[in-house]
Structure 1
Amino acid sequence: MGGFEIRNATPADARFMGDMLVEAANWNVTRARPRVAILDDPNVSRYIAGWRRPGDFGSVAIDSHGIPIGACWGRLFPPNAPGYGFVAVGVPELTLGVNPQWRAQGIGRALLKAITRQARAAGHSRLSLSVERANFAHRLYVSEGYITVESGESSDTMVATLR
């Protein structure tokens, strides 16, 4: 497929990041939902609505032609409107999505490392996320130091402590 680079996400990346939110939600192709159904769900759309508001940060992976192929971003949520992986005020929750044809090529890991650097630079000491245990990304998060702090019926809330 070729190489890729990671760059900081900009406000102009909002639509692509919406695409990656859909990819993240549709990780299990046997349960895939249409884009409109995912982005019309306020529990999901909150992860991208109004991108880039104060406190948002993210990274985009681009291929050798400059075409976006994956994204990871962090967003803060208040306790009265938490995300699925909310653990505390001031702990950004991550979203990670990679185009299917680019998966298992190190892009997700590179995006996680980039977002970790951005979070440290912004003064955050932890990152959180929610992931279904059957999702192949669960292994990636564990390998990058995320630990399970809460388990639901089929998903885990995970946290990484930034060093």
Structure 2
Amino acid sequence: MELYLIRHGIAADREAYERDRDRPLTEEGRKKTQKVAKRLRSLDLNFDLILTSPLIRARQTAEILLSQHLAPLLQESEHLAPEGELQAWLAWLNSKTAPQGQRLALVGHQPNLGDWTETLVWGTPKGAIAVKKAGVIGLELPNPDAPIGRSTLFWLSPPRMLLS
């Protein structure tokens, strides 16, 4: 399975909102995310499903990806919220309730996305991978029975590489 980890776009300042989960994308964040989504479409990248954190900025990012016809379905997952855990998400992925597909996009937050990437590739987070806002990571996940740390990193792109 191909797994794409996508960080939400540029969001409003924390100070402007009482709750972090309510921070929306800024106008610049929307525009850059739209350009990234168009670039992904031009590369013929599409997903069987987009899973998103329920936080506003991630949901808006996922909706922009959906608007570019990069996936037929969008679903929220609490596992992708900042307090979400990789092990819980993997248990869901391996359950019979998870939608089946070969290409899945996850829209979430840093440091989770960087930590999840490192854990899936190396078996433990090392604090070495930082996903820029609207950045994309691509991983090839082995079969569900394979131990953590056996995934292959095949794409690590900051948004500026997708905007040019």
TM-score, normalised with respect to structure 1: 0.33
Structure having the larger proportion of residues in strand: 1
Structure having the larger proportion of residues in helix: 2
Which protein has greater RCO, CA pairs closer than 8 Å, 6+ apart?
2
TM-score, normalised with respect to structure 2: 0.33
